[in-house]
Amino acid sequence: MTSTHEPAGTPTGAAETKIPQQGPSAFDDVHPPQRELLDDCVHCGFCLPTCPTYVLWGEEMDSPRGRILLMDLAEKGDIGLDGPFTEHMDNCLGCMACVTACPSGVQYDKLLESVRPQIERNVPRSASDKLFRDAIFALFPYKRRLRAAALPGALYQQLRKVPAIRRLAEKLPGQLAAMESLLPPVSVREAFATLPVHTPAVGTRRARVALLTGCVQDVFFHRVNEATVRVLAAEGCDVLVPRDQQCCGALEVHAGREESALDRARRTIARFETLDVDAVVTNVAGCGSSMKDYGHLLADDPAWADRAARFSARCRDVHEVLAELYSREDDGGPRAPRTPVTGRVAYHDACHLGHAQGVRNQPREVLRTIPELELVDIAEASLCCGSAGIYNMVKPDAAADLGVRKAEKIRDAKPEVVVTANPGCLLQIGKYLPNEDFADVPLLHPVQLLDASIRGAAVPQR
C-alpha cells in the first residue's frame, strides 16, 4: 500500500468532489489511539532517516508518519485494520528512534502501544503465524521452561557441529531458521545457577537496591546478572534479588499482548513494592522501558494506578544507578579501584535504553571510569540492529538486512570489544558480526567489562 502524505489540491474550476460519509472507527473502544496524539504529527519528515524500515525500503507507509496516517484513517473509519494496516504495523520494530528525532514531540510510542493490542484482538492471523507467536510466548516469559529447554539446547549445539546436522539446520524455513540461528550459547550450569538473595555492600552502604533478573537474561546470560550484583556491591549497594520474581511482561507489551502483559506487570509490582529499597534495578533495556511505563499502562486501573506509578518512579537502569552514585556530592565517584582495560571498545545503544528510556550518556560515563579504555562510537548509532524484542524471529528478512548493516558499521569502528545493554542486541550482533577478522571479538554487557576491571580479571569472552 502506497500513499503520499499530502492530499492533492482540487484544480481551479473543477467540479466539487463529494466527500464520502465517515464510517465508525475501525478500532474497538479499549484504549484506541488518542485523537490529540494523532493530530500532533505535522508530517515534517524528520523521522524518516531514523526509521529502520523506511531506510531499508523507502516506503512511506513504513515510516512513522505513514503509520500515523494509517492510524488516522482507521480512527476515522476510512480503512479497516486487516490487510495493509496490519502489515505496515507489524513491519515496525518499535525502536522509538522517531520519538527521539521528532521536533514536535509526537508520542509515537504511545500510539504504537495502543494499536498493537487492537490488531491482536481484532485481526485474525494465519494459522502458521499464530502458532509461531504462541510458541514464542509459551516459552520465553517462563524461566522454568527456558531452563528445561537449556538441556536439549546444549545437546543440540554440540550435535550441530556434525556437518549433516548443520546442513539440515541450514534448510529450515524462514522463522524457524531465524529462531535456530539466534540460539544463545547454552551452559547448563549457568542456566540453573541462582544469585544470592542478599549481597551486602562493600564498605559503607550508599544505597539499597533490588535487581530484576529477567527471563532470557537470567537463564542464558546469567554471567551478566552475576557481574551486575558484584559491581553494585563493590560500589556500595546492598543488593536484594527476590527468588520468586517472574517475567515483567516486556516482550508481551511490545507485541501487543496487553492482557497477559498487564497481569505480569501487576505481579512484578506486588513482588517488589514490599521491599525497602531505593531503586528497582534492571540491566535489560527492554525490561526497564516497560517497567518504567507501568504507571501509564495501568493508569486507568483504580486498584493499581497509584501503585504502578510509585513502582515506575523507583525503576532505574543499572547505568543510571552507577552514574547517580558517581555524581553524589557527599561520597560520590567510583568507590571500587579499577585496573586498566586497554583497547578499543565500541558501545552500541540498545533502542529501548537510548530511545525509550533516554539513557545514553550514563553507560558511556560508567565505561569511561575504566583506566586506559578507548571508547569509540559506531556510525548510525541510533539505527536499530534488527533485534527489537521478537522482531528478528517474526520478521527475519528485514531483521537480517538491519543486522548486516549494523555489523558493517561496527566493523568500521575496528573495536576489540563490543558492549551493549540488551540480550537481544547481543544475540543479533553476535549473529552478523563474525567474519574472518571479527570471529573472536567479545560481545559483552557494559557491566561485565566494569566487573572485570574492578576484579582485575581478564576480559570475558561473552
Which helix (H) or strand (E) element contains residue 447?
helix 446-455
More confident residue, 178 or 119: 119
pLDDT of 158 = 76
Q: What is the mean pLDDT of residues 415-423?
A: 97
Over the stretch 392-413, which tens digit does the pLDDT of each residue have? 999 999 999 999 999 999 999 9
Strands 198-199 and 237-240: antiparallel
pLDDT of 380 = 95
Buried b (16+ CB within 10 A) or exposed e, 181-212: bbbbebbeebbeeebeeebebbeeebbbbbbb
Over the stretch 37-93, which tens digit does the pLDDT of each residue have? 999 999 999 999 999 999 999 999 999 999 999 999 999 999 999 999 999 999 999
Q: Average the pLDDT over each of 92-96, 339-343, 395-399, 433-437 and give the range with the smallest value.
A: 433-437
Which helix (H) or strand (E) element contains residue 397?
helix 396-412
> Looking at the predicted structure, is the pLDDT value of residue 452 above 90?
yes
Over the stretch 199-250, which tens digit does the pLDDT of each residue have? 999 999 999 999 999 999 999 999 999 999 999 999 999 999 999 999 999 9
pLDDT of 175 = 77
Distances in Å between the alpha carbon of 47 and those of 51, 54, 101, 104?
A: 6, 9, 6, 11
> Looking at the predicted structure, is the pLDDT value of residue 121 above 90?
yes
> Looking at the predicted structure, is the pLDDT value of residue 11 above 70?
no
Q: What is the mean pLDDT of residues 130-159?
A: 88
Q: What is the mean pLDDT of residues 165-179?
A: 77
Distance CA(105)–CA(111), nearest Å, equals 12
- Residue found by looking up cell 542486541 in the block: 425
> Looking at the predicted structure, is the pLDDT value of residue 13 above 60?
no
Q: What is the mean pLDDT of residues 355-359?
A: 96
Over the stretch 93-107, which tens digit does the pLDDT of each residue have? 999 999 999 999 999
Question: Around Cβ 129, how many Cβ atoms within 10 Å?
Answer: 13
> Looking at the predicted structure, is the pLDDT value of residue 160 above 50?
yes
pLDDT of 166 = 77
pLDDT of 375 = 97
> Looking at the predicted structure, is the pLDDT value of residue 315 above 80?
yes
> Looking at the predicted structure, is the pLDDT value of residue 162 above 50?
yes
Q: What is the mean pLDDT of residues 247-266?
A: 96
Q: Calculate the dihedral angle through the C-alpha atoms of 402, 133, 260, 214, rounding to the nearest 10 degrees.
A: -50
Which helix (H) or strand (E) element contains residue 234?
helix 222-234
Give the chain's mean pLDDT: 91
Give the CA count within 13 Å in the CB-facing half-sphere of 324: 15
Over the stretch 280-307, which tens digit does the pLDDT of each residue have? 999 999 999 999 999 999 999 999 999 9
Question: Which residues neighbour 27 within 8 Å (Cβ) at sequence distance 6 or greater?
Answer: 33, 74, 75, 81, 115, 118
Q: Average the pLDDT over each of 188-197, 312-321, 334-343 and give the range with the smallest value.
A: 188-197
